[in-house]
Structure formats: C-alpha cells, structure tokens
Structure 1
Amino acid sequence: MVSAARSFARRRLLTTAAALTGAAFLGGTAHAAETRKGAWPAQFPLPNGFQPEGITIGAAPFAYFGSLANGDIYRAALATGSGAVISKGLGAEHPTVGLKIGRHGRLFLSGGASGELRTVDARSGEIEKVYAVGGTFVNDVVLTPDAAWFTETYKAVLYKLVLGRHGAPVAVENLPLSGDWVQGDGFTANGIERTPDGSALLVVNVVAGGGGLMRVDPRSGTARAVDLGTAKLPNGDGLLLLGRTLYAVQQAQNAIDVFRLNAAGTKGTAIARITDPRFRIPTTAAVWGDRIYLPNARFDVEQPTPDTDYDAVAVHRV
C-alpha cells in the first residue's frame, strides 16, 4: 500500500540519519537562499496534504508535481508560483512518485507501490494508459530518444517503455540488472539519469558501497559502479544532469551533491554541495534557466494530514 511504502521511506530516512556524519564532505558549499528583487518566486506553496515527491519542467516555464497521496498532478507557473491540479489521480493506491514530461506534451509517471507506469496528456490532464508491470515500487523515470526508463526499488530490474512515432508508447520491456549491481533486502534503487554522452543510464543504488551510482548498459543490463572517489550517496534520490554536471539530491541530508562527470559517466568528481535553510527533505530536481527547483517532500512528518503544508523551492545552479 502507498501508506506502507511512505512509512518505509520515512523509516529509512530516519534510520540513515546516523550515516550523515560519515557521508563524504564535498569541497564547496553553496547556500542559495538569497534571490534578486523582482525575480520569479524562489519559493511557492503546493496544496496542503498534496505529499509531493517528483517534479518535471518541460519547454515552457511550468513545473509539474506528482502526489504520493492520490496520484494527482499539480502544475505551477514558475513566473508566479500559482497553480492548480490538472490531472486527477486514481486514488490512494495509485501514487505518483517520479515523473517526466516529453517534448510532445506527454507525462510519464512512476506508480510507486501500485506497480504501474502511467502516461498522461499534459494538456488535457487525461490519463492515457496504465501499464501494470508487476513491480513492487516503481520509483523514478528518465526519458531517452526511444524510451522512458523506470527504476524498480525492490527488484534488480529496470522497466523500459518503448517509444514510437511522436513519442507514443509502444510496449513495456524488462531489463534485469547484473554485473556490479547489489540488490539489498529492502530499499535499493532510486533516481535515474542518462550519462553525458547518452550511451548508458545512471542509477542511484543506496546499498552498494554505502550508497552510490551505477552505470547501466541499456542493452545488456550490466551495471558498473561509477567512481565517485570518497563521495557516498546513502540518501541519494533524484538525479539531474546538465551537460556533464550531475546534481544528486540527498533527501535526508537536506542537500544536493554536485559532481563533474566524464563523458561516459564512468567517473565523477565532487565539486560542491548545495544546502538551504528552506530545504525540508527535498526529493527530486528540475531546471529552468539558472535555477533548480525542488519539492519539499517532508518525509520527517510521521503522519501527514490533509492540512500538512508543502512547498517547492528554487536554488541557483552551480
């Protein structure tokens, strides 16, 4: 159930707090609370009780957020911070965790504990199709030219939603993970991105080596650990790649760790850590201009209610 999965996530966040002192210290620290007068809002509210987790921003200055509570999609204008629910979810058993918007206006949603992938027309809000993949927790998603790739938290597998003409979904395929992949007894895979050269996928594995990145061959499923030096991602969640700069949200640490990758994504160097007093366990990140936007998931709230407040914040790119 969604509530059980959410409780597990909170338990993991709280029990891993002890690992924070052992997490790698990244060379630079950027505090990004200051904003220019007259600028677009650097913080804006989301609906009370919404329980946000994922965020995506497309070719226009609008951010889309998914709800863990019921699967709703909320769209906010970055220029004003105002917004509205544009797609109703399927209910409490069908959360929206990660999400991405394609260039043809289609949203790709990870269904969490429902074991679903879903697609939504971002213009009409209509749920186009639901794919029951038999997953235990479909977590995050990244788009490539020919597919939407989804992580599975409790199984050593990725789900590939093959895309055809105009980005339309065609079929779902499973890609078993092998090589250096370590599947823990519980929560393992989380965020996903592409390598800078587009040849492979990068997947957060919070178990292997104390938490880090795996580079996955999208043809064979062979995973190899990315060399991040002494840096660890024990609380790694959403990933955001901008050129060769990778932003990895460390949710329970209220931080974003920033790495400079080589083109193939086999090696990364820690270059900065972004912190901000407005962070309340951010989970995922998306970019517009010189800003990175994140939803505050507030996983430290043990029992969210319809009145629990949520918001999104923006920080400057490194």
Structure 2
Amino acid sequence: MQRSFARRSLLGAAAAVGGAALVGPLDGTAAATEATGSRWPAGFPLPDGFRPEGITIGSEPYAYFGSIARGDVYRASLATGRGRVIIQGLGPEHPVTGLKIDAWGRLFLCGGDSGEIRVADLRTGRITRTFTVGTDVTLVNDVFLTPDAAWFTDSFEPQLYKLPLGRRGEPGDRIITVPLTGDWVQGTVITANGITATPDGRALLVANDFAGGGGLMRVDPRTGVARTVDIGPTLLPNGDGLLLLGRLLYVVQQRQNAIDVLRLDNAGTKGTAITRITDPEHFRVPTTAAVWKDRIYLPNARFDVTEPTPETDYDVVSVKRLRP
C-alpha cells in the first residue's frame, strides 16, 4: 500500500485556498467546522495509526471508516465521536480504501492494491465474500451502490468492476469487468478515483484525475463508454471522493484540502462550480465524504505524512451541507 499511495501523492500538493469558510458566491456562510447548534461534535479522533481513507454512513448516525494500515473497519457514533473496531482486518496486505453500507447491514469494501473486493456482515463482523480482480497494478479505490449492482473503480486500469446484486442486495457470484472507452484517458498515476451516479440515476460519474488536467467523466453502465462532463474551467486534479446530494456534487480535492461543489444538470452532462469549501485549520488531506442530516463528514487521510507510524494521529472533520 505504501507503494501505491506514494504514487497517489504524485498528483501534487496544491496549497489550500481561502480561509476557514465557504468561499465563492455564498457570502456569509458560517465557518466550515463551526458548531452546528447541536451538542454533537463537529469532529472527533480516530485511532492513532489507523490511516483512514473511506467513509460511509447509513440510515443510523454511525460512520464507518476503512483502514489502509491493516484493513480494519472502525465504527463511530456521530452523536458522541466514540467508536471501536467492528471488523478486524487481515493485515497490511489487505487494506480497505473506499467502502459503502447497504440497507441490509452489508459493507462493500475496496481492497486497494490487494485487488480484493470484499463483502462484510455488520451483525457478525465477518467477511462473507472475497473476490480478486484486475492485475498486479490494480488499485480498487472506491465503490458506489446502485439498486442492482456495486460499482468499483480501479485507479491504475481503465475499467470498472460490477458486482451484480439481488433484490435484497445479496451479492452475485462473480465480478463483471467493464472496460472504459470513449473519452476516457488513462494516466500513469492515479486516474479513476471517486464514483457516484448522475442526478437522474441513468449513468455513473467517475473522477478522472488525469484527463485534461483532472475532470469528471459520465460513464454509460451498460457499455463503459465515458464522456467528459462539461464543468467549464474547473479542474479536478486531486478529485477523490464524490458525494451527490440532489444536483449538488461535492468533489473532495484531497491534496488541495478543499471541497469543490458543482451544480449538475439532471443527466450529469454539464456542471457549474458554485463554491469551494476550505478549512486550513482542520483539513489535513481529507479524502472522502458522507452525509448525515445537515453535516458532511470527512476523514483526514494525512497523505502528506510520508512515513506514517502507529503513533500518527488521525481524525474526522465535518462541514455544513449546502442547501440548493
């Protein structure tokens, strides 16, 4: 994992822009990590040495984080910030990067450069299915759930992985590899990263950190044909986690310590940048995002730490969700 995530760091380390507030046309918005008026913490620590990358939140106020250090999954209460490891990892060769929770208590886990895709049962804490995909340079990075499939990105191969799901979310017996064609351009460093759906649900959106200096691709899930989303002059060279809320797309630009917010058309063919969220005091290379009510939570992956140790500290921050 150190080899692969060292390559990820080659994407650049652009400085954070602006102060600890929303910058752009939304003047007067409160500071990014300002108290929400509730007693719930705006941020909380993760275990030292954990090395988080992904986050997911389901129908209850608990956040789940994957560890690229050992492959553990940590659950934290959003009400208190306290948590514990609920799934023991298999060690450094079996990391967890992106993850998503479904309505039936399953976690779908990306195995990074192990090439593994895993499914875990939250009730038992056990891994119930493991698939191995790709090649020796594969990095299974992020995952998104649609009604009939779990979709996974590969950051070093121009393809997505589709795990078909049954009526109650039960995973199928095999992974389908979907090559990316059309406008897709594969780079020599991290390329495909975060993934979500278009607002109309008919296609997938994938962050491409390489093409045209970094942008967004709309992918036909039936064919794998990718088309460049017109987002004007906005560049996404560090585009990591994608979070779609209505027609607002939150793009976590990890090494820039920022979240760029785009307003998309319904089909996801065009987007307009409306603001950038930054917080130099609290953002320490956040990677992915998940929402609970009016807050968006992000783990600080701290990829700027070149040699993390078991004593390296990690935490979670939150920002206020924008209203359309």
Instruction: Determine if the TM-score, normalized by the shorter chain, exceeds 0.5.
Output: yes
Contact map agreement 1:281 1:298 (CA 8 A) in 2: yes
Alignment of 1:77-226 (within 5 A): 77-135=77-135, 136-170=138-172, 171-226=174-229
Once the two structures are TM-superposed, the CA of residue 38 in structure 1 deviates from its matched residue by 4.6
Contact map agreement 2:63 2:76 (CA 8 A) in 1: yes
Deviations along 1:105-160, one digit per CA (max 9) or x if unpaired, are 10001110000100011222111111001341000000000000000001110000
Deviates more, 1:131-140 or 1:294-303: 131-140
Alignment of 1:1-318 (within 5 A): 2-14=1-13, 17=14, 27-28=25-26, 31-36=31-36, 38-135=38-135, 136-170=138-172, 171-276=174-279, 277-318=281-322
Deviates more, 1:52-61 or 1:127-136: 127-136
Contact map agreement 2:33 2:317 (CA 8 A) in 1: no
Q: C-alpha separation between the residues in 2 aligned to 1:305 and 1:191?
A: 26
Contact map agreement 1:10 1:302 (CA 8 A) in 2: no
Q: C-alpha separation between the residues in 2 aligned to 1:113 and 1:79?
A: 33
What RMSD, in angstroms, separates the aligned Cα atoms of the two structures?
1.7
Q: C-alpha separation between the residues in 2 aligned to 1:149 and 1:314?
A: 26
Contact map agreement 1:28 1:273 (CA 8 A) in 2: no
Deviates more, 1:267-276 or 1:36-45: 36-45
Once the two structures are TM-superposed, the CA of residue 209 in structure 1 deviates from its matched residue by 1.1
Give ranges in structure 1 of 5+ residues lacking alignment: none
Higher helix share goes to which structure?
A: 1
Percent identity between matched residues is 63
What SS class does the counterpart of residue 165 from structure 1 fall into?
A: coil
Q: C-alpha separation between the residues in 2 aligned to 1:10 and 1:209?
A: 19
Count of residue pairs the alignment pairs up: 312
> TM-score if structure 2 supplies the norm length?
0.93
Contact map agreement 1:19 1:234 (CA 8 A) in 2: no
> TM-score if structure 1 supplies the norm length?
0.94
Deviates more, 1:179-188 or 1:26-35: 26-35
Q: C-alpha separation between the residues in 1 aligned to 2:290 and 2:123?
A: 20
Once the two structures are TM-superposed, the CA of residue 12 in structure 1 deviates from its matched residue by 3.0
Give ranges in structure 2 of 5+ residues lacking alignment: none
Q: C-alpha separation between the residues in 1 aligned to 2:50 and 2:189?
A: 26
What SS class does the counterpart of residue 166 from structure 1 fall into?
A: coil
